[in-house]
Structure 1
Amino acid sequence: MGKLVSWPAALLLIVPIAPALHYLVGAPQLWIFFAAAAAIAVLADWVRRATEQVADQVGPAIGGLLNISFGSLAELILAIFVLTSGKADVVRAQITGSIIGTSLFGLGLAIVVGSIGREKQLFKRERAGQLSSLLILAVIALLLPAVFDYTGRSSTASGRLVVTDEQLSIGVSIVLLVLYAANLVYTLITHRDVFASDEPRGSEASWSLLASLAVLVTTTAVIALEAHLVSGALEATSESSGLSPLFLGVIILSLVGTASDLFAASWFARQGKMGLVLNICVGSAIQIALVVAPSLVLISWLIGQPMTLVFSSPLDLFAIVGTAFIVNAIAADGETTWFEGVLLVGVYVLFGLAFFFV
């Protein structure tokens, strides 16, 4: 399998802690929750590594599709298990947290790290413009069900709508998935030369295709186990820690799912690859909005736990909208400075405080 012994391999020692605490020790749910959450963050990085190794061997077009398809796998699995426990509001909070976490905290931290010793960093405005435009489009689509719900109920005497929130959410989800599929065709096939990155990621190890697939399958299965433990301990953790389920979803669960992207973004920023950083951070937020969120709506109906895209909290809506417009402003000039990174992290901290006190 090549050179696998490294600090990421050492972090795999975290993975068996939560199952041992749950099945052998019978430890408090709070310990199990955070141990399993840490394990998911570690495993998400291995999913990313295995996917990149497969992508290197199957060509740029298919490889790009694989990176996109498996980029948010850990977040999707975690959200599904939380959803099966009937906590759709926590899943919506996780969606909000993932969007603001990668776009504000992840991008801001990467800009700060990458700006050490540099006056500014440059990136391709074409790709950044497309990413920010997609993010704004996704935000508008996510706002639609909430606006529809509020407008419909306030403008009808009975408060009942001709089309339900569930039906509208399914329709919006299908449109979002179709739009994202069109974006894949545009960036990976018809306009591949325009959006091809001139900043290669570089491979840390050379694995065989069989080994890469084995790592991908194994880590996915273990993530499912850890996600089951997280969802089972969520309510007890909220009670014992004093943290609301909303805060756990927006901050803790979202950071767990996106930890791999956050570390990768800072790593590439330090190497001066700001174009890759934008692809990782903003691209991850777009995946959440255009792929993960609509997929969860459709999956929720299949498993008998229907979820809508109606974000009832004004704070959720304000955070998502604010994030989209901040990213659009950052991407407009094709360069970043350390102060912009500090501003992004600062806004994320303010949102975190707001969700904590709510």
Structure 2
Amino acid sequence: MRKNWFFIALTGAFVLSGAAHYMRWGAILEFAFSSVAILFVAGFLGKATESVAHYAGQRLGGFLNATFGNAAELIIAIFLVKEGLFDMVKASLTGAIIGNLLLVLGLSILLGGLKYKEQHYNIHLAGYNATLMMLAVIGLFVPAIFVKVENFSFEQDRLLSLTVAGILIIAYILWLIFSMITHKDTLAESEATSAGHGEQPAWSKKTSILFLVLATVMVALVSEWLVGTLETFTTRFGLSELFVGAFVIAIVGNAAEHSAAVMLAMKNKIGAAVEIAIGSSLQIALFVAPVLVFVSMLFGNTMDIVFTTIELAAIGVSVFIATSISRDGRTNWYEGALLLMVYIILGFAFYLV
């Protein structure tokens, strides 16, 4: 019965969003319906990835959760890049990184910790995640410092951005090989905390794959409708592109990670929840952001990888506290509350910009 109600709500939200877009109901109504629709679509995407992950195994399943969970952010960002809204793209990427590290991870640890006094996950994976997060900060920090301090020309800026983007992509691909092939046994969770342990998948293997493809297509459509309303929305309510990109778009786009990670944490599968939250942030920083640099080049106007001081500070703070909390392989509800407090502090500061 609950599944039937979900699909009815999903269909209704998607249809209303499409009607608002094609029948020109106005930018504000279109933004509202599209935001609600993408929450349901992202939830559908989260359920589909969780079901596929059951058949694919834990390591590949975690990768699929991160990849398809980030589909909303990637597709939204591509449409923003196409429109030349580079500042909003970088803000949305910043929001996706800090949203996963602070909001998604924080909620998962908090709600899981309220149910279980202390939760444990693979300490080796926690250590590698911490190192990769530092690499992500370095990859975003170095271009910003050199371009601004040395007053690089446009060509120097473009060349540095493309070079750093390429290196980050290579680093992420090597991480996938390391974690899924050469050292997959070292980084595997125990049977008791694996994502699909002791549960039946929501759908059959073929149905899960079909729904995964369908959800991705729906995310693409709703994302395009949502992006078309952003300029009017920000102007009407006097919000900065930085706040809309870093928090409004990021919270909407992170719905898939929210649903999957929180549900897993509350089933005492904190390892899978941490992998989704931190893995998604790493994928945004090491793969999605660099890929968008190359995508923008195909559109004829290359986006640099130079983030603002505010964005770098927010990412750096998020990585610092997330690393401090996650490195020991243990979590409790208080650590989740601390992550959420940092997210609120950053959100209020961004709102005042």
- Residue 312 (structure 2) pairs with residue 317 (structure 1): yes
Q: Distance in 1 between matches of 2:271 and 2:105?
A: 11
* 1:140 partner letter: I
Could you list the per-position Cα deviations for residues 263-319 of structure 1 after superposition, in whole angstroms to 9, with x for gaps in the alignment? Answer: 22221221222211210111111011011101111111112242111112x211110
Paired position in structure 2 for 1:347:
342
Cα distance per residue 1:149-201 (max 9 Å; x no partner): 11211xxxxx647x521221111111111111111111101111111122222
**Using the alignment, how far apart are the partners of 1:333 and 1:133 within structure 2?**
13
4-13 or 211-220, larger mean C-alpha shift: 4-13
Out of 309, 321, 336, the position equivalent to 1:326 is 321
Q: 1:102 to 1:295 in 2, by over 3 A?
A: same
- Kindly state the Cα deviation for residue 221 of structure 1 after the two structures are TM-superposed: 2.1
Q: Does 1:286 align with 2:282?
A: yes
Partners of 1:78 and 1:260 lie apart in 2 by 14
> Cα distance, 1:349 vs. partner?
0.5
Q: Distance in 1 between matches of 2:303 and 2:260?
A: 31
Tell me the equivalent position of 2:236: 240
Give the TM-score, by structure 1 length.
Answer: 0.90
Deviation at 1:234, TM superposition (A): 0.6
Of 195-204 and 105-114, the range deviating more from structure 2: 195-204
Task: Please say if 1:335 is aligned against 2:334.
Answer: no
2:172 to 180, 186, 189: 180
CA contact (8 A) 2:80 2:86 kept: yes
SS at match of 2:228: helix
1:34 deviates by: 2.7
* Correspondence for 2:13: 14
Aligned partner of 1:92 in structure 2 is 90
- How many residue pairs get matched? 348
Quote the Cα distance in structure 2 between the aligned partners of 1:87 and 1:114.
38
Counterpart contact for 1:100–1:323, Cα < 8 Å: yes
SS of the equivalent of 1:134 reads: helix
Question: 1:29 corresponds to which letter in structure 2?
Answer: A
Aligned with 2:114: secondary structure?
Answer: coil
Q: SS where residue 254 of structure 2 aligns? A: helix
- Tell me the SS of whatever aligns to 1:315: helix
Distance 1:204 1:98 in 2: 31
Question: Which residue of structure 1 aligns with residue 134 of structure 2?
Answer: 136
Q: Could you say what secondary structure the match of 1:5 adopts?
A: helix
Question: Which residue does the alignment assign to 2:299?
Answer: 303
Q: Which of 212, 217, 239 is the matching residue for 2:213?
A: 217
Q: What percent identity do the matched residue pairs reach?
A: 38
Q: How does 1:149-298 map to 2 (within 5 A)?
A: 149-153=147-151, 160=153, 164-198=156-190, 199-202=193-196, 205-298=201-294
In structure 2, the partner of 1:49 is 47
Report the more deviating stretch, 183-192 or 236-245. Answer: 236-245
Deviations 1:212-266, CA, capped at 9 Å, x for gaps: 3332232222222211111111100011122222111000111111111112222
Q: 1:122 to 1:63 in 2, by over 3 A?
A: closer
Q: In the alignment, is residue 23 of structure 1 matched against residue 22 of structure 2?
A: yes
Gaps of 5+ in 1: 154-158
Q: Distance in 1 between matches of 2:61 and 2:261?
A: 19
What residue ranges of structure 2 are gaps of 5+ in the alignment? none
Q: 1:21–1:32: 8 Å Cα contact kept in structure 2?
A: yes
CA contact (8 A) 1:30 1:241 kept: no
1:10 and 1:231 mapped to 2: Cα distance? 25
Label 1:317 to 1:236 Cα distance change in 2 as closer, same or farther (>3 A). Answer: same
TM-score (norm 2): 0.91
Give the match's secondary structure for 1:86.
coil
Cα separation, 2, equivalents of 1:66 and 1:107: 18
Report the 3-state secondary structure (helix = DSSP H, G, I; strand = E; otherwise coil) of the residue aligned with 1:115.
Answer: helix
2:71 pairs, out of 52, 70, 73, with 73
Equivalent in the alignment of 2:145: 147
